[in-house]
Chains A and B, each alone.
Chain A
Amino acid sequence: MTNNPLTPLTPAVLYILLALSTQERHGYGIMKQVEQDSKGKVTMGPGTLYGSLKRMLEAGLVEESTQRLDPAMDDKRRIYYKITGLGKKALAEELERYRHLLSLAEEKKLFPEIFAYGL
């Protein structure tokens, strides 16, 4: 288990880690990726995004990057973020937790029941 105070990860933190798992991104880039990954179900405003990023920075899950990967949208005010080793570990553990829950639900044959109720 990673020793970070954010476990279990909130949906916002999980989606931000997922967005940063493929490449470094700035705030707006993270928001767009989260929207895309969640198929539009998770839309966070700047308040939620930067509040989560602050806690993730403190927990060492992400860090600021000096690289500029999006020259078309370059601006000095933009801060790019990248996932850290601890962040990758926390993400892997959280996904493993989800995998375990899914296999448990499958074992208990909950899926057909849930689908039968249209949930």
Chain B
Amino acid sequence: MASEHITTFYRNVYRRLIHLYPKAYRERFAEAMVQTFDDLCHERKHEQSGSMLSFALHMFSDTAISIIGEHLEIMTNTIKNTPIEILGLILLIPFSLLFLVGMAWQFLNTLGYASSPNLGAFIPNPDLGYALIFIFPALAFLINFITLIVGAIRVGPGSALSTQFAKTHLFTLVIIVLSAGATLFIFGHDVIPCFVHGVLREGLNNIWPLIKTCGNA
């Protein structure tokens, strides 16, 4: 009776483990895998060879390794199929890290647990810092925006405005939104308010000097 409880317990654990597989894999093989596990449990009980624990550990570790392998395969395929989007994501990493550290630092500063944020301390080379924070997000936006435009031209204006196009280019769109947000945040701190204020004050007559002035702000 006790062994029946243990077997049921292992079966339940195995079923839960199977849920960690990627959806497509799960839909195709989950039922068959559970059936095979049941067969092996039945055989183990019938033969009474070795402990159920060592058997279960072998099955669980084998399946856990397989789960990791399937997810890694999906990640590898994603990288292979969407290199521009992945490059965009990588270009956004330095800004994202500095943004998060800056926000956390600011929060702690507000609570009185830290000094004023000084993110420059993390970047020894000013040119590198400028590239990491200012250029990379803009570059990520640019390359993904061009990819989207090229895709839209290929399918034609009718299909480019469809939901299907948005679905198939979802990753590109996400990167565009993130990089545009980052770029606006970076330049928006000083440049955009300065520019908007200048235009409101002086109109569009002296636009080029205004761009230069705000660019140096």
Contacts and interface: CB of A to CB of B under 8 A. Distances in A.
A77 interface: yes
Contacts of B62: 44-48
Contacts of A44: 62
A57 B58 CA distance: 25
A19 to B, nearest CB: 14
Contacts of A73: 39
Contacts of A54: 25, 28-29
Interface stretch (B65-73, B96-104, B105-113, B179-187): B65-73
Given A28-B39, A28-B40, A50 B66 contact: yes
A77 B63 contact: no
A78 interface: yes
Contacts of A28: 35-36, 39-40
A62 to B, nearest CB: 13
Contact of A79 (B25, B32, B61, B65): B32
A84 B18 CA distance: 28
A27 B32 CA distance: 7
B33 interface: yes
A49 to B, nearest CB: 7
B35 to A, nearest CB: 4
A75 interface: yes
Interface residues of B, number: 23
Nearest to B17: A47
A79 B34 CA distance: 12
Interface string A44-73: 111111110110000000000000000001
A48 B63 CA distance: 7
* Residue in A26, A27, A53, A78 with the greatest tally of chain B CB atoms within 10 Å: A27
Contacts of A31: 36, 40
Given A51-B69, A51-B70, A46 B33 contact: yes
Interface of B is mostly: helix
A49 B36 contact: yes
A79 B65 CA distance: 22
A46 B32 CA distance: 9
B165 interface: no
B59 interface: yes
A20 to B, nearest CB: 15
A50 B27 CA distance: 13
B190 interface: no
30 contacts: A26-B32, A27-B33, A27-B36, A28-B36, A28-B39, A31-B36, A44-B62, A45-B59, A45-B61, A45-B62, A46-B33, A46-B37, A46-B59, A46-B63, A47-B33, A47-B65, A47-B66, A47-B67, A48-B66, A50-B29, A50-B33, A51-B70, A54-B25, A75-B35, A77-B34, A77-B35, A78-B32, A78-B35, A79-B29, A79-B32
3 cross-chain pairs, A with B, having the tightest CB-CB distances, nearest first: A45-B62, A47-B66, A47-B63
